[in-house]
Each structure stands twice: as C-alpha cells, then as structure tokens.
Amino acid sequence: MTNHQRQSRRNFLQHASGGFGLTALTGLCADTLGAQDPLAAKQAHFDAKADSVIFIYATGGVSHIDTFDYKPDLIKDHGKSITASRWLNKTGEYERFLIKPHWDFKQYGENGIWVSDLFPNLAGVIDDVCVLNGMHCDSDGHDKGTLAAHTGSAQFARPSIGAWVSYGLGTVNQNLPSFMVLAPAAPYAGAQTWASDFLPGCHQGTHVIPGAEPIANVQPRVASRELQSLELELLRKFNSSRQAERENDAVVDARIRSFETAFGMQSAAPEAFDVSQETESTFSMYGMNSNDRTGFGWQCLMARRLVERGVRFIELIDVGSNSNWDSHGNMADHQRLAKNVDKPMAGLLSDLKQRGLLERTLVVWTTEFGRTPFNATANHPGREHHNFCFTSWMAGGGVKGGLAYGTSDEYGIMAQENSAHTHDLHATILHQLGLNHEQLTYRHAGRDFRLTDVHGNVLHDVVTG
C-alpha cells in the first residue's frame, strides 16, 4: 500500500495550508456526511483476489477471427458459400461467403495460445493473459452493445460497472475519485457508459481527457488558501441548510461529496498526473516519449499510476477520430488500430508485474461485439457487426494466465463450448474484487437492482482459488 493509500482524509486536511482542513472542509464532512460517507472503504463479501480494476474498452467491435480466435477451417474454406440466419440486424436466410483472416496466426507462450500478427507485443506476455474466445452478447448495435458491455443492459439506462464497484467497495484514497475514465471522447452511448444512474452520484466516473490539462479547473482560482477557506465555509453553510430542507436528496448529497473530492484533488491529481519522474525505459515500455500526453500509451501509464494511488476502477477507452474498430468497409484499419494499443497494453501488464501490482490488479480488455466471418462477396474488404461470438481477455487479479477459454464453431460464427455472456464477465470481475454479484444490489423504484440483473455466472474455471 502506498503513502497515498495510507494517508487519511482527515490527516490530509489537517496538514493543508492555512489551517483550512480544520475549518471549512472538516465541518462540511461532519455536518453533511459523517459516518454516512458513501465513499468510505467498505468490507467485501469475501476475500478478494484483486483490489482494483483496469477496464480497457475497444470501441467499434474488434474482429475476433482476425485477432485471437484462430480458425483454420475458415482459411481452408475461404470463398465457400454458407446460409446465414442473420444479416445487418435482420433475420432470414442469406447466402454469404466465408472470408479468411486478414492476418496470420502463431502460437505463443508455454501453452501455445494463438495470437494473430496484429498483436506481437501482447503475444510476448500471453502467459499472463486469459483469452475468452467464446464471448457473446445480446445486441449487434453499437449503442446497445456498448451500454451492455458497461452496464449489463442493452435496453435501459443503468449504472456503469465502475459505479457498481465504487458503490460496493468505496475508496481507499479520499483525495481521488474511486472511478476514473481516461478517454479523449465518449464511445457509443456517450457518458452513460460511466454514469451512476440511480446509484448515488458520487459513484459516477470522473472523465479525464488526455492532454496538457487532463482534469480541467483542478487548480484553485482564488488568490489564497485563506480566501478559498472563507468561500467554502460559506458554501458549507448553504449546503447544510439545503440538505436540512431536502433530507435524503441524492443530488444534494452528491454535490456536497463532489466538493470534498474536488478539494482533495487539488493536491492529489496534479501529483498523480505528473510523469516527470518516470524513467525513459518506462516511457519506452509503453511505446511513448516523455512529452506524450495524448496517446494510448499515456492512458495505460496513467492507469498504473492511479492503481498505485488507490483508485478502485480505471477505464481506458480506445476511442477518437482515428480510433474506431468499426471496419465495415476496410479491415485493413485493424492494422493501424492494433499498432496503437498493442505495445501500451503489453507494457502495462509488464510494468504492473515488475512492480508487484499485477497480482492484485485485474486488467480486462473487451469490445461490444465481434465481426462476421462472412460477407456478401468473398472479396469484400470489410466485416459486419456480429454479437453471436467475440473475444475478450483478462489478466492479473487472480486470473489464470496462459489460458484460452471458450470456443466457437469451425468458422467463428457461434460461441460453443464454455461460452460466456457479458453478464458472466461482469460477475467474474465483481467476484475477483470480493463481491457477490447476486448480493451487490441497490433498492430503486420499488425493487432491487444489480449489475447482472437476474443473470450471470462466475467463470470459476479461469480464476485461481
């Protein structure tokens, strides 16, 4: 545990300049939050294998058959016609033609895990990775698929998995948000992907935009700490009065808690995002240079730094004007997209392992769905949306490395043996954090809700213990 994790909020405030901590903000905590602080660290349901999660999301739908799901029969039968039962979100009977992978596959690691040439660096650390090749989900639409990947529901607004983790476990560092999202923009479905919805607002993700000022306005805009103290003391009085008028108002409670977190972030966030003390070898490991503040390498490096500082759930979203895996018309784009993330992700796993953090940090990579192994013609350059089969992977946090779990049919059309739904992936993530997905519930609108709804099974075969 780092010094950042050990330092309590009260100690931080007591040492804040100008005596501010013993006046305004301590009063705000005592008067409005007290023992009911929704972000206080909570006891897990059982012994956890992981303390934090790094959730990497590849927006657009990554082709499983071109990355991790090796299908020799698809190569052999390239150009063969088949009858597809679903095409472009329509059911029926469609004559389509098989299209082989656009890249070669090789076996890596002690167990010979198949990885395509798109991910040479990740292949080098595959013994730490568990590949889930039999994934499937409910929707082949981007918005719905993205919602389901984050919230468990493709149909309705629900809290993000990061919000559920924050709600279930709280935080060990009161000076940083418990759930942070590093992304240049929102993916499909927008900010709902990191929303808290009906959970208390303090559990929603804090959006960090890569660049010179990752978190806007974190520096105080007042002339002195003393003046800020006076301003926040006045704010405390207004908030307390408002809260007395509107007891149990979630919006007011969330707003009050946000002011406290914002004050702590004035000190903690600049230090966390300052990479000036990182070595050149570390930058190289992530495929970046010391001046890079916008690339995916920076996102991965920051994920490691935030884990060190006790942030509970960190999401990295591979999204932007040049980062979308939605390759309807040109699968060649996968080459550029993979190159952008391959070394940073491998570097993240290596860096976490070298620092002794991988054992207690669960790293998850996923996407909204896969892509069709067939198309309207045998020489079509792209692939369409495909929710019946796709690939995710996990590493660290008590997950068995060097394992390929789950299979699809001979062409990668349907998930088959040891298949896993998105609900199963979510249940497994919560399980590694010591949370029973059936017991992590919140009462709303007259009934209990949970991340996995009424579904989900922990993938016990892929975790230790």
What single-letter DSSP state applies at residue 133? E
Enter the pTM of the model: 0.88
What CATH code is carried by the domain that includes residue 300? 3.40.720
The two tokens of residue 418 are 């040891």
How many domains are there within the chain? 2
Is 164 within 8 Å of 194 (Cβ atoms)? no
Is the domain of 252 the same as that of 345?
Answer: no
Geometric angle at alpha carbon 324, from 417 and 291, rounded to 5°: 120
Is the domain of 306 the same as that of 242?
Answer: no
Judged by DSSP in three states, 50 sits in coil
In a domain, 32, yes or no: yes
Question: Sign of the C-alpha dihedral, residues 123, 162, 185, 279?
Answer: negative
Is the domain of 288 the same as that of 358?
Answer: yes
Compute the distance between CA of residue 451 and CA of residue 254 in angstroms, rounded to an integer.
Answer: 21
Is the domain of 266 the same as that of 369?
Answer: no
Q: For residue 248, what pLDDT is reported? A: 62
Q: For residue 465, what pLDDT is reported? A: 74
In a domain, 44, yes or no: no
Question: Sign of the C-alpha dihedral, residues 224, 229, 235, 238?
Answer: negative
pLDDT in tens, the chain (465 residues): 444 443 443 343 333 333 333 323 333 333 334 446 788 999 999 999 999 999 999 999 999 999 999 999 999 999 999 999 989 888 999 999 999 999 999 999 999 999 999 999 999 999 999 999 999 999 999 999 999 999 999 999 999 999 999 999 999 998 999 999 999 999 999 999 999 999 999 999 999 999 888 876 666 655 566 675 676 677 667 777 766 676 666 566 666 666 666 666 777 888 999 999 999 999 999 999 999 999 999 999 999 999 999 999 999 999 977 899 999 999 999 999 999 999 999 999 999 999 999 999 999 999 999 999 999 999 999 999 999 999 999 999 999 999 999 999 999 999 999 999 999 999 999 999 999 999 999 999 999 999 999 999 999 999 997
Is the domain of 230 the same as that of 307?
Answer: no
In a domain, 185, yes or no: yes
The two tokens of residue 98 are 């098989």
Question: Sign of the C-alpha dihedral, residues 269, 271, 274, 278?
Answer: negative
Is the domain of 119 the same as that of 99?
Answer: yes
Using CA atoms of 344, 346, 352, 358 in order, give the dihedral in degrees to the nearest 10: 130
Question: What is the residue whose two structure tokens read 């070595």?
Answer: 279
Is the domain of 236 the same as that of 299?
Answer: no
Using the 3D structure, point to which of 226, 253, 272 is the last residue of a domain. Answer: 272
Judged by DSSP in three states, 93 sits in strand
Is the domain of 245 the same as that of 382?
Answer: no
Is the domain of 127 the same as that of 161?
Answer: yes
Domain carrying residue 162? 49-212+279-458
Judged by DSSP in three states, 110 sits in coil
Is the domain of 206 the same as that of 222?
Answer: no
Using the 3D structure, point to which of 224, 245, 272 is the last residue of a domain. Answer: 272
In a domain, 463, yes or no: no
In a domain, 42, yes or no: no
Residues ≥6 apart with Cβ < 8 Å to 303: 54, 182, 314, 316, 348
Using the 3D structure, point to which of 248, 272, 296 is the last residue of a domain. Answer: 272
In a domain, 41, yes or no: no
